[in-house]
Amino acid sequence: MGYYGWKPYVPVAERRKKAEKTAAKAKKAGANFSPIAPYRGAVAKTFWGKAWCDNLEAYSDYANRMPRGRTYVRNGSVIDLQVTAGEVQAQVMGSSLYQVVVKVVPVSPKQWQAIGKDCAGSIDSLVELLQGKLSTAVMQRICTPRTGLFPAPQEISFSCSCPDWAGMCKHVAAVLYGVGARLDQKPELLFELRGVDAKDLVHQAGAGLPQSKKGPAVAKVLDDSLLADVFGIEMDEAVLPVKAPSASKKAAPAKKTAPRKAASTKAAPTKTVAPKPASKKAVKAPKAAASKTSGAKTKPALKPAAKKKVVKTVPAGK
């Protein structure tokens, strides 16, 4: 036990080891920890992370207290940080493991509508918004103290389980910096924390654009019968509904069934060609049979009768 009930100071290296052991033990127990990994350099590097930290450091209430938490968040003492709607819950390793809760007041509907109105037409997509690739005017409007998207000190309340009775202890400061580091990875958490939807700003971007209700010109619409002629297909009337004036033109695709009938008639002769050779054989067969029968009848009648009578009658007359 240290002086006046304070626990003895724990070096950074030892505190980091304790944080790693505690996180590993909680992970084995099934806890879903989301730590802020240790790093060097600036706390935040992207637009939303920097804007969050700059906003807090700009207030005189926090100017002298926020730096106390930089070392803690950089060396990995924030072993768990969960951002939900209107609240941040975290665990910070100090002399012991401390529980920190930070609550943020949601943006009022009137203030959110004013932000959306001022930014309307300047945000083209949600990706552009979350990446911070916005115009200077939009960024200034979103980051405006007290009327922008970032909370003012009177909109933030916090508590810590440590024995430090200061208005903002170093553990709370480390958590607030940790929120800025987390926004580097997930900037959409800022909108969730303030209870608003980022898509509202994108939807209002095209609110002032006129919406055309005119359809394509009649001359530019290709008729169904022309489609059938060009592509050689038949348009299904049930799938492609046509207006009443063009009902007379629907008969044109029906005429396309004629070629199919012609194709069937062409196929018929191919079936009748096969019997032709059989008919020729049938014709030849009777001719051969007729010649044989005729020869059989003439040979016995002509040869014996004619020649024998001439030879026998001449000698009898003399």
Structural domains of the chain, count: 3
Calculate the alpha carbon distances from 130 to 12, 18, 199, 311 in Å: 34, 35, 10, 136
Pair (242, 113) in one structural domain:
no
Q: Is the dihedral of CA 229, 233, 237, 242 positive or negative?
A: negative
Residues 107 and 27 in one domain: yes
262 found inside a domain: yes
Q: Give domain status of residue 94, yes or no.
A: yes
User: Is 257 in the same domain as 309?
Assistant: no
Q: What is the pLDDT of residue 192?
A: 96
Contacts 24+ apart (CB under 8 A), 141-144: 141/115, 142/51, 142/115, 143/51, 143/54, 143/55
pLDDT confidence of residue 85: 95
Does residue 296 share a domain with residue 166?
Answer: no
Whether residues 306 and 171 share a domain: the answer is no
By C-alpha distance, which of 74, 68, 85, 84 is closest to 160? 68
Residue 313: Cβ within 10 Å count: 9
Is 29 among the domain residues?
yes
Q: What angle do CA 40, 46, 48 make, to 5 degrees?
A: 125
User: Are residues 172 and 244 both part of a single domain?
Assistant: no
Tell me, what's the pLDDT at 262? 44
Give the chain's residues under pLDDT 50. 1-3, 208-222, 226-227, 230-231, 235, 238-240, 247-251, 256-259, 261-274, 278-318
pTM score: 0.61
Q: Are residues 173 and 251 in the same domain?
A: no
Is 297 a domain residue? Answer: yes
Indicate whether 220 belongs to any domain.
Answer: no
One domain for residues 175 and 59: yes
pLDDT of residue 37: 87
98 φ, ψ (degrees, to nearest 5) = -115, 145
Residues 99 and 154 in one domain: yes
Tens of pLDDT, residue by residue over 97-121, are 999 999 999 999 999 999 999 988 8
pLDDT given for residue 215 in this prediction: 46
Within-domain flag for 311:
yes
CA 235, 239, 245, 251 dihedral sign is positive
Residue 227 lies in a domain: no
Residue 56 falls inside a structural domain: yes
The DSSP 8-state label assigned to residue 89 in this structure reads: E
Q: What does the alpha-carbon distance between residue 77 and residue 90 come to, in Å, rounded to a whole number?
A: 11
What domain range is 294 assigned to?
275-318
* φ, ψ at 152 (rounded to 5°): -90, 165
Does residue 25 sit in the same domain as residue 122?
Answer: yes
> Same domain, yes or no, for 167 and 22?
yes
pLDDT of residue 99: 95
